[in-house]
Structure 1
Amino acid sequence: SIDDSDFENRYAGAGFETLHKTHEQLYADHIANNPYDSNDDIYWDWYSKPAYELADATLFRAVYSKKQLVELLADFWHNHFNVYFWQDDGVPLLVSYNRDVLRKHMLGNFRQMLEAVAKHPSMLYYLNQNNSNDAGPNENFARELFELHTLGAENYLGVRDPNSVEKDANGIAVGYVDNDVYEAARCLTGWRVDDDLGDWEDGVEKTGNFLYYKPWHDRFNKLILGQYIPADQEDLKDGHDVLDLLASHPGTARFICRKLCRRFISDAPPESIVQAAADTFLQHKDAPDQLRRVMETILLSAEFKAGWGGKVKRPLEAVVSMMRALNSEFIRPPGGINWMLGLMGQALFERRPPDGYPDTREAWMNSMSLLYRWNFAVGLTENWMDEDDTGYKIFSDVFAQTPAEMRTASSLADYWIQRILNRSLPESGRNAVVAVMAQEYAPDETLSEDHARYALPAMIETILMSPEFQWR
């Protein structure tokens, strides 16, 4: 296993106060028994503190942990099963959603992950499942379950009679229609949160846990993806049947694996690797390490090895890679980092629609997103991002990290280009970097120490602003 003790020691010293709490403790301490008056700001500060600490810890892990694949997957799965930070009823519970659902299952079994997502209060609140009952089933969660979480829009067949849809060899519909969404919403009625804060409902407490509330469940028969679901099944079985059908569907395998390949290989990954990963997904659908096997199929493929330059870094990747490249030091990340991420378009956990942040070049290669990346590069390199209110600081000592024997513009440029990019720049790009460092000096002339100290940050910023730094 990877020795991540340096990160673990840093994390222990960061002083996070709420991230160790269980789901039940988060609900009790920050929602049900919040000790402050809701008319005071301190009430809302305490209420939202776990989520703010989660955002800080996410940046902390991304910068300092050696388990970078874990962090990339945590980001991927949060965007796949997106939940908005400021979902009013359960902001503190974002901590347990991230830790006990996404991180726990992201290299495990997809069916188990799907059920954990469907039963977590963060998702139940976010997509209005918490009030779905037999008198008025709410289709919001059911629709996203099909369209975003499993089969994907690529397997949507429109408004059709479900009996007209082609079936596979097992009698399962090859895609879904609107009627499947409505019927799934009926199957999931009564899936809610145990959150009777006002002591108004019989049989409902205030633990903040998942609750199957039988009085709200639609007990009658349904038809999902061509499969008949009889009336009066045992508790929860209607919903479990829906999840079983979706998690084992070949369309789900292709959709999930296409998204993973898009994340790790290119915006338009070759169909060969998508199908290979989907085959692994289905072959090991009952395995406890199903998703680990899928990732191995992708990461060991020839398509992955040939994938350099097929992606552009999203803002979070750009910001984290800058901090890692400069060995930036912080105990807790200043709030300005997430604020800048917001200006770039990717504030942590703040995507309002349920589709998650986009994952293609077109979404991020725009003038405003790039402008704020450049501003961040300057602020980080020149140490302008300290936070006065909290005292949180971030420091990048680029001069101390530069070998003392390198004192020409050419040697400094070559050192930092290789260190940051791990590859050479085209001649025109290299010449531009050298020119920023040299200024009035010749490229191979020895620089004074004052000049080296003065010009080095600007040269590094030029590399961080280069098109090549945006690729991955």
Structure 2
Amino acid sequence: MPDSASPLEAPRITQPEHARRLNRRGLLRGGGAIAGSALAASLVQTSPVAAQPASGEPPPAMRSPRNPVFAAAAGVPSLPPLPVIVFNRMAFGPRPEDWQAFQSLGDTPESRLEAYVEQQLAPETIDDSECEARLASYGFTALDKSLAQLWADHVQGDQDRYLPAWEVERATFIRAVYSKRQLVEVLADHWHNHFNVYGFDYWIAPVFVHYDRDVIRGHMLGNFRQMLEAVAQSPAMLFYLDNQSNSGGSPNENYARELFELHTMGAENYLGVRSPEDPALVDGNGNRVGYIDADVYGATTCFTGWQVNMDTGLFEFDSSRHFPYQKFVLGKIIPDNQGIKDGHDVLDLLASHPGTARHVCRRLCRRLIADHPPESVVQAAADVFLAHKDAPDQLKRVVRTILLSDEFRTTWGQKVKRPFEYVVAMLRATQADFEPTDSFLWNFGNSGQRLFRWHPPDGYPDFKEAWSSTMPMLQRWRRCNWLLGWTYGGDGPNKDDYRLQPETQMPASKKTPNEIVDYWSNRILGRTLPADERQPIVEFMAHGRNPDYELPADQIQERLRYMVGLILMSPSFHWR
């Protein structure tokens, strides 16, 4: 067929065989046409822009007015079955066996959800030996080292300084793809962004195993106040936000400002540059309703002397570098000569403040429900946060409240998968035999969300607008095509790079385009594709034939891989 035609515009069966053969450029254009216009219409209501064609090539089909059938109506998609919501927000997408496992947990959708939530909130009770065996097979050497060992080997010793961060990056991918403790992996991803550090910094990389294992994972279902202190005293955060150089004679406010603005009360509770005596700053009970710049400055001096011991890598308090005099933070007097207790008092004030409860819970609700979660569920979670502020399982109670809320069950289409979530979801849905090789990580790095490499302290964005514009979408389609095995600039698949192998999982009983598309959409999505997304994919698989006629086996094998790719590029696969 002409090189300008997409496979969805393939000639009828009466054309010569060579004219019906799969064409790489046409396939990529066809995939872009389906995924591009439909997803753009439903997510951002803007027209996608394809990569510029090589000189002399016609414009891609996704720019062509000949494909109006691919345009999807803008708006929020309909609410899917509850398991779809569960596995796309409590997990990094389902594996095929997850659908039936969820159905076996109870007699009603609500009872199954409650059972699944309780199961995931008790990760120690879940047999994760398959994932652990995979991790063990890689021979990682840094993941089990204590903080003192990491410092001795990778800072003071001659072992690779960046190896600990390198191993955490790979282990994170392995766990996200294979672990049955999916909620743990989702929450680890969330809290790494909440308490973001740049993992491949010169001083942070050697101790990043400790930050991931002992600080983030060790506290994410525990007590927020304890987690806050573990973060504050970790060498990763002490170096990242410069509290290592914060002394009484030369204060550095970087950590204190982000402690208020990102880690606890949030910018939503920032009241600007005002006098601490301003009566508008307090509520009817005399408590601060927000924070001002003076609170940041006061807290900065409270954390002077908090630093890393450069011989051991462990936290230490150096009283000679501490500002010992009286401070004023959030309307409270911090007495003089308290030493390290100054910092503890600030953490106590912040961890128990209603503004912190709302901000922390809003960010959790944003990760687990919607970009702009209903205030009702935010407040319900915040009430639990404050009522159990001293409980050892405070955060577990908060997460349970969010996941069992009506808002969790009845909200859909207000989030899209970020690149990490999208790639892992593809690998899980297709049961890929995945390894985090150097070539995979290099390729994934082009997606815009390379793990632990976000430089600013606010973490990777968690709003759909950040990930649904032209370039992020184009990059994720490229990741999909790479995982399918296409080499850019060549005419065929590079079998050494195959990750997705749908041919080995295709039931012989499914032979018509309609049957094949519906089988794979239900397997991947847990439901049939909406008509406007389904029809062009069926037409692609039919290749000009009647979609209810059985296809020859060789044509099924020839087109199956790319049909699965089109489902993975569809709008329905991007929602979470």
Could you state the TM-score of these two structures normalised by the residue count of structure 1? Answer: 0.91
Q: Are 1:7 and 2:110 an aligned pair?
A: no
Compared CA separation, residues 392 and 48, structure 1 to 2 (3 A):
farther
Aligned to 2:177: 63
Deviations 1:314-335 (A, max 9, x none): 11110100000111113x3123
8 Å contact from structure 1 (residues 222, 229) kept in 2: yes
1:426 partner amino acid: P
Compared CA separation, residues 374 and 90, structure 1 to 2 (3 A):
same
Cα shift at 1:239: 0.3
Q: Are 1:251 and 2:372 an aligned pair?
A: no
Cα shift at 1:394: 5.8
Aligned to 1:345: 448
* CA distance in 2 between partners of 1:369 and 1:73 (Å): 23
Matching residue within 466, 472, 475 for 1:363: 466
Deviations 1:285-307 (A, max 9, x none): 00000000000100000000012
8 Å contact from structure 1 (residues 328, 394) kept in 2: no
Aligned to 1:26: 150
8 Å contact from structure 1 (residues 128, 140) kept in 2: yes
* CA distance in 2 between partners of 1:286 and 1:364 (Å): 37
Aligned to 1:388: none
Matching residue within 218, 224, 235 for 2:323: 218
Cα shift at 1:170: 5.6
Aligned to 2:291: 176
8 Å contact from structure 1 (residues 334, 394) kept in 2: no
* CA distance in 2 between partners of 1:265 and 1:395 (Å): 30
* CA distance in 1 between partners of 2:497 and 2:308 (Å): 39
The 10-residue stretch of structure 1 (162-171 or 347-356) with the greater mean CA deviation from structure 2: 162-171
8 Å contact from structure 2 (residues 198, 204) kept in 1: no
Cα shift at 1:308: 2.1
Aligned to 1:17: 141
Unaligned runs of 5+ in 1: 36-45, 196-205, 386-390
* CA distance in 1 between partners of 2:501 and 2:254 (Å): 50
Deviations 1:243-286 (A, max 9, x none): 00000000000000011111111111111000000000000000
* CA distance in 2 between partners of 1:305 and 1:340 (Å): 35
Matches within 5 A, 1:50-89: 50-89=164-203
* CA distance in 2 between partners of 1:327 and 1:103 (Å): 26
The 10-residue stretch of structure 1 (285-294 or 167-176) with the greater mean CA deviation from structure 2: 167-176
Matching residue within 460, 484, 494 for 1:381: 484
* CA distance in 2 between partners of 1:191 and 1:9 (Å): 39
Matches within 5 A, 1:10-159: 10-34=134-158, 46-159=160-273
* CA distance in 2 between partners of 1:22 and 1:379 (Å): 37
Aligned to 1:412: 516
Cα shift at 1:421: 1.2
* CA distance in 1 between partners of 2:209 and 2:439 (Å): 21
Aligned to 2:12: none
Aligned to 2:61: none
Aligned to 1:466: 570
**Larger RCO: 1 or 2 (CA < 8 Å, sep 6+):** 2
- Give the length in aligned residue pairs: 445
8 Å contact from structure 1 (residues 338, 348) kept in 2: no
Matching residue within 272, 289, 303 for 1:188: 303
The 10-residue stretch of structure 1 (417-426 or 137-146) with the greater mean CA deviation from structure 2: 417-426
Cα shift at 1:447: 1.7
Aligned to 1:42: none
1:284 partner amino acid: H
The 10-residue stretch of structure 1 (140-149 or 10-19) with the greater mean CA deviation from structure 2: 10-19
Cα shift at 1:112: 0.1
Matches within 5 A, 1:270-281: 270-281=374-385
* CA distance in 2 between partners of 1:104 and 1:232 (Å): 32
2:520 partner amino acid: W
Aligned to 2:530: 426
Percent of aligned pairs with the same residue?
A: 54
Cα shift at 1:129: 0.5
8 Å contact from structure 1 (residues 334, 393) kept in 2: no
Secondary structure (helix, strand or coil) at the match of 2:162 reads helix
Compared CA separation, residues 113 and 384, structure 1 to 2 (3 A):
farther
The 10-residue stretch of structure 1 (9-18 or 153-162) with the greater mean CA deviation from structure 2: 9-18
Could you state the TM-score of these two structures normalised by the residue count of structure 2? Answer: 0.75
Deviations 1:123-151 (A, max 9, x none): 00000110110111100000000000000
1:176 partner amino acid: Y
8 Å contact from structure 1 (residues 124, 192) kept in 2: yes
The 10-residue stretch of structure 1 (434-443 or 402-411) with the greater mean CA deviation from structure 2: 434-443
8 Å contact from structure 1 (residues 87, 125) kept in 2: no
Secondary structure (helix, strand or coil) at the match of 2:414 reads coil
* CA distance in 2 between partners of 1:434 and 1:393 (Å): 27
8 Å contact from structure 1 (residues 28, 34) kept in 2: no
* CA distance in 2 between partners of 1:142 and 1:460 (Å): 49
8 Å contact from structure 1 (residues 333, 393) kept in 2: no
Compared CA separation, residues 448 and 358, structure 1 to 2 (3 A):
same
1:127 partner amino acid: L
2:297 partner amino acid: Y
8 Å contact from structure 1 (residues 380, 396) kept in 2: yes
* CA distance in 1 between partners of 2:133 and 2:365 (Å): 34
8 Å contact from structure 1 (residues 409, 447) kept in 2: yes
